[in-house]
Amino acid sequence: MSKKLPKDWGLKTKKRADGKLDIIQREDSGHESVVRVTDTSEITERDIADLKAADREAYPNRGAGVRAQVKRLVGNSDHKPTPEDYVTQAMAFDDSDWIAAAEPVVQAGLGRSGLTVGSTHAYRRGWEFAFGEDN
């Protein structure tokens, strides 16, 4: 059953290519942002309930309300990650993945081929000590 968004929320909808709706808000800066994507082609009671739950200004105790909302979103998991969990996640990445992800950053930062960093006398002396012809 299709529902309507309350007018005082100042939200509007926009149809997506996949048939769902984007629920859009206008921010103080004037830019529009998507606050929710509906599960169907209509606004449902669940969409409205989720939007109400996400309104942190509606909570009498904002901190407790926000914590409860986050717990609801992540499924009330009481699982605390162990150091082994982090190691397992890190080992799932191949070193080449990290290198490939870093290449555009390095290129943007250094930008020129053959670039060397540093120009102080101490840097040049250290360079010669490490890589000079005497070594």
Integer Cα distance of 135 and 131 in angstroms: 6
- This prediction's pTM: 0.49
Cβ(38)–Cβ(51) under 8 Å? no
Where along the chain do its domains lie?
7-74, 83-131
- How does pLDDT run along the chain (135 residues), one tens digit per residue? 568 888 888 899 999 999 999 999 988 888 899 999 998 899 999 888 888 887 777 778 888 888 887 887 777 666 777 888 878 777 776 667 777 778 777 777 666 555 555 567 887 888 888 888 765
